[in-house]
Amino acid sequence: MEVSAETRLLGVIGHPVAHSLSPSMHNAAIHVLGLDAVYVALPTPATALAAVLGTFAAVGGAGNVTLPHKEAAERCVARKTELCERVGACNTFWTEHGALVGDNTDVAGILAALRQLGVDGGGSWLLIGTGGAA
């Protein structure tokens, strides 16, 4: 893979993130698809979160947010999907017109897993946990 000034920056933001398998998985997909992009893990302390997200916006990047920053990231993005706003946590972001848009894919992931198990995702549920850890 050759990285140039045109290469799109993608990544996962968290603290810690050294354990994340996301870079390996995403870079394999990027290679197979022939995209000019690179996906990196960025260890980001809370004090640097807004600056790191701002850098992604400035360069047209996108990525994911993991613990402990999902709730704080929701407050940092310029625009939010309805689900991101309702959940109060952002785990996915991308740039549109120089501004970050935040979303939350955790709910869809949980519902898909329940459906695979034959469980109806409708109705009322008790979720034990809070915020980004739930």
Each residue's pLDDT tens digit in the chain (134 positions)?
789 999 999 999 999 999 999 999 999 999 999 999 999 999 999 999 999 999 999 999 999 999 999 999 999 999 999 999 999 999 999 999 999 999 999 888 877 888 888 887 677 777 776 555 55
Domain range holding 90?
A: 8-133
* Residue 60, domain CATH: 3.40.50.10860
Instruction: Please say if 70 is a catalytic residue.
Output: yes
Identify the CA nearest to 58 among candidates 108, 100, 5.
100
H or E element at residue 107: helix 106-116
pLDDT for 36 equals 97
Give residue for tokens 């990544």. Answer: 11
As for how many domains the chain has, the answer is 1
Q: How many CB atoms lie within 10 A of CB 14?
A: 24
Q: Is the pTM of this model over 0.95?
A: no
How far is the C-alpha of 9 from the C-alpha of 34, rounded, in Å? 15
Q: Given 30, 61, 66, 70, which residue is catalytic? A: 70
pLDDT of residue 133: 57
Residue 42 lies in a domain: yes
- CA gap 7, 1 in Å, rounded: 10
